């Protein structure tokens, strides 16, 4: 297949634990894409391009030098990516929004998706996965602060502030809410069906999404898998929309600490 007949799907989210792997599998129902370089990749291409363009825009002045830099690093980049696959669609995903504007600048004719998830559930999952077993004063203070809800508040507030500085203008991107994919929101499904020219019926699409096995570390921690990347069937105990695996104090600290980010992403 010629590279001009192929499309790259860039799927970026603002943090880990946004449901990236499930979302990739759900989008595959429409696009039958191949994730590069492997199904669990989190390719830092947008971060690399952000660094490249920072140097390119701020320290290289002459056009001939800019052209030479692009010749070395940019001009053949799309072809080099697509030659790794014979699929019509390939996906590059990452758990960061740093440099997503530079992805669009470099690949203007490809597909750019931003995945969001309610920050209170993202932070709940991140804190659930923290290891506080190290024997140190810092670890002890975190453990005490975690139980009281103070550390979850501090952690969520600090990380929210960082994300708010990084997040792009979402109106310029097709934004996908993780919750809408899980709940098979028909408005979103129709939008994806049209985007990828899928001929499947809405009923078939819903059926295939329902058949996706859970593949993420949150499920691994909450339900139990022998290995972190095990494919496991969903159980009645697993609720990805309303995470309640931590104590009320932890969840309350997260809720207060993530308020600004939740408001930015229209969750409150």
- Mean pLDDT of all residues in the chain? 89
Q: Is the pTM of this model over 0.85?
A: yes
- Percentage of the chain with pLDDT > 70? 87
Query: What residues pair up with 177 in beta bridges, in sequence order?
Result: 116
Fill in the DSSP letter of residue 214.
Answer: B
Q: Give the residue extent of every domain in the chain.
A: 3-118+168-236
**Is residue 74 helix, strand or coil?**
coil
**pLDDT tens by residue, 36-86:** 988 889 999 999 999 999 999 999 999 999 999 999 999 999 999 999 899
CA distance 104 to 46: 9
CB 23 within 8 A of CB 97: no
**pLDDT tens by residue, 75-107:** 999 999 999 899 999 999 999 999 999 999 999
CB 218 within 8 A of CB 129: yes
| CA atoms within 13 A of residue 253's CA, in its CB half-sphere | 21
**Res 98: pLDDT:** 98
**Residues 86, 92, 94: CA angle, nearest 5 degrees:** 165
CATH number assigned to the domain covering 3-118+168-236: 3.40.50.300
């Amino acid at each position: 297949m010629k590279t001009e007949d192929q499309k790259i799907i860039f799927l970026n989210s603002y943090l880990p634990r946004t449901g990236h792997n499930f979302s990739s599998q759900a989008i595959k129902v429409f696009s039958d894409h191949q994730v590069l370089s492997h199904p669990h990749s989190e390719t830092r291409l947008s971060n690399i391009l952000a660094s490249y363009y920072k140097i390119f825009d701020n320290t290289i002045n002459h056009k001939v030098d800019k052209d030479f830099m692009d010749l070395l690093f940019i001009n053949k980049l799309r072809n080099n990516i697509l030659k790794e696959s014979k699929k019509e669609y390939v996906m590059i995903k990452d758990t960061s929004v740093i440099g997503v504007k530079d992805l669009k600048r470099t690949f203007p004719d490809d597909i750019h998706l931003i995945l969001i998830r309610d920050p209170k559930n993202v932070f709940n999952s991140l804190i659930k996965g923290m290891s506080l077993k190290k024997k140190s004063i810092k670890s002890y203070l975190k453990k005490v602060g975690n139980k009281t809800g103070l550390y979850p508040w501090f952690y969520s507030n600090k990380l929210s502030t960082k994300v708010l500085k990084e997040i792009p203008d979402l109106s310029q991107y097709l934004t996908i809410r993780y919750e809408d994919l899980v709940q098979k929101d028909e408005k979103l499904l129709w939008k994806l069906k049209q985007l990828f020219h899928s001929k499947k019926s809405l009923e078939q699409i819903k059926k295939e999404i329902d058949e996706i096995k859970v593949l993420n570390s949150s499920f691994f921690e909450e339900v139990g898998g022998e290995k972190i990347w095990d494919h496991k069937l969903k159980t009645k105990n697993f609720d990805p929309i309303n995470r309640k695996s931590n104590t009320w104090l932890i969840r309350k600290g997260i809720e207060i600490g993530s308020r600004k980010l939740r408001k930015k992403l229209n969750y409150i």
